[in-house]
Amino acid sequence: MLQIRLCLPLAYADGVQQCKCGMLADNAMRLGRHWMTKCPKGHRIITHNKVRDVIAALYRELGVHVTVEVRGLYAQLTSYGEHKPADVLVPASATGADKAQALDITITDPTNKTALYNRSDKVPLKAASARHKAKLATHRAAVLEAGAGGLPFTKVPLVFETTGAMGKETQIWWEGIRQLRREAHEGSGPTSRRETGMDWTWSANHFNTFWLQSISVAHARTQAESVIQWIGTCQGA
């Protein structure tokens, strides 16, 4: 995790001559980025799912009954032949909106060619913003296809970059979560998680810090574990 965060060559990665996908070793492989972004055999979906599960747990702590991987919301089929699901479906009653919210969690790479062409290296969170817009464009197309009745939910893309950074639009979602917390627990006693017997860490002992840290660590740890596994696999271990 720390080596990836500091952009340092990874331990034992210099022993990899070729990835199982066929690509010869290069600097991106030595830094782990190959398996985080390029490799078609990479385990990126595992990182996505870990972040999804933490976000679902966050809502449940707030007393919101959410469900994960809800299928049948869209008519379109995905590239893997299934109807596009909601990663986390939040009922309308939880947010006071007219419709349920279908959270669509996405992790995008700010170092790929398209993102760099669009100046992701010059403009902070540019890659996340572009991915957010693309997700909404897909949703708008689905709404038009649905006809006059529309769709019984709104789509909320939650976009994180492979660095773990939360996109600006996703930060707006987080402010909504903080508001839900204030409304649910206003004047209800101590906010210290340790004092109330909840999971906590020394650096994250309150709702906001604990869940931001949980999302960040779930992303970073799962990503690192996946890279470690691929280093071993590509060495023939």
- For 4, 14, 16, 32, 151, the CA distances from 234, given in Å and listed in that order, are 18, 11, 6, 12, 45
* Residue 84 · residue 73 · CB < 8 Å: yes
- For 133, 168, 205, 207, the CA distances from 122, given in Å and listed in that order, are 19, 15, 35, 33
Instruction: Give 118's contacts (C-beta < 8 A, 6+ positions apart).
Output: 126, 127, 130
What is the C-alpha separation between 13 and 231, in angstroms, rounded?
Answer: 6
Angle at 198 between CA 197 and CA 199, to 5 degrees: 130
pLDDT of residue 16: 93
- Above pLDDT 70, what percent of the chain? 94
What is the C-alpha separation between 161 and 61, in angstroms, rounded?
Answer: 25
- Which one has a higher pLDDT value, 130 or 94? 130
What is the C-alpha separation between 231 and 237, in angstroms, rounded?
Answer: 9
Which residue is associated with the tokens 């985080």? 36
What confidence tens digit (pLDDT) does each residue in 38-59 have?
Answer: 898 888 889 999 999 999 999 9
Which residue is associated with the tokens 């933490």? 54
What is the C-alpha separation between 28 and 35, in angstroms, rounded?
Answer: 9
Is it the case that residue 78 has pLDDT exceeding 70? no
- For 83, 128, 131, the CA distances from 136, given in Å and listed in that order, are 17, 12, 9
* Residue 16 · residue 25 · CB < 8 Å: yes
Lowest mean pLDDT among 82-96, 130-144, 153-167: 82-96
Q: What is the 3 state secondary structure string of 32-81?
A: CHHHHHHCCCCCHHHHHHHHHHHHHHHHHHCCCCCEEEECCCCCCECCCC
pTM: 0.90
Instruction: Give 83's contacts (C-beta < 8 A, 6+ positions apart).
Output: 71, 72, 73, 74, 75, 76, 77
pLDDT of residue 81: 56
Averaged pLDDT, 143-166: 88
Is it the case that residue 204 has pLDDT exceeding 90? yes
Burial (CB count <10 Å: 0-12, 13-18, 19+), residue 60: exposed
**DSSP letter at 26?**
-
End-to-end CA distance of the chain: 21
